[in-house]
């Protein structure tokens, strides 16, 4: 299902406005999903979180310390769809 992220902007309160290569865009609230541990610890600082950028090689969002997030998961959160595609549903059983 890979949908690359082509634009990302931090809009406060650990939320990102994302635009994907297929034109889908929306806001993802990451606050409930980030542990702020390990590589994600610096993201606790709102100024650091705002330093998000798009890594076009990976097709996802990254921060200066190398933290990144799975673009498929972000796409699913924006669209309200499942990360698993239909042929892969047997894997969850």
Question: 87 is written with which tokens?
Answer: 């042929």
Question: 14 is written with which tokens?
Answer: 């650990």
pLDDT per residue over 15-70, tens digit each?
Answer: 999 999 999 999 999 999 888 999 999 999 999 999 999 999 999 999 999 999 99
**Coil, strand, or helix at residue 68?**
strand
Q: Binning pLDDT at 50, 70 and 90, where does residue 83 land?
A: confident
The torsion angles phi and psi of 13, rounded to 5 degrees, stand at: 55, 40
Pairwise CA distance, residues 76 & 83, whole Å? 6
* Res 87: pLDDT: 47
Sequence-ordered alpha helix ranges (H) in the chain: 46-49, 71-79
């Amino acid at each position: 299902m890979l949908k690359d992220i082509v634009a990302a902007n931090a809009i406060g309160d650990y939320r990102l406005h994302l635009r994907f290569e297929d034109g889908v865009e929306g806001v993802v609230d990451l606050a409930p999903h980030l542990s702020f541990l390990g590589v994600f610890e610096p993201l606790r600082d709102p100024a650091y979180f705002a330093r998000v950028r798009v890594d076009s090689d990976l097709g996802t969002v990254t921060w200066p310390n190398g933290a990144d997030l799975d673009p498929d998961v972000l796409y699913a959160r924006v669209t309200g769809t499942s990360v698993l595609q239909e042929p892969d549903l047997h894997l969850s059983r």
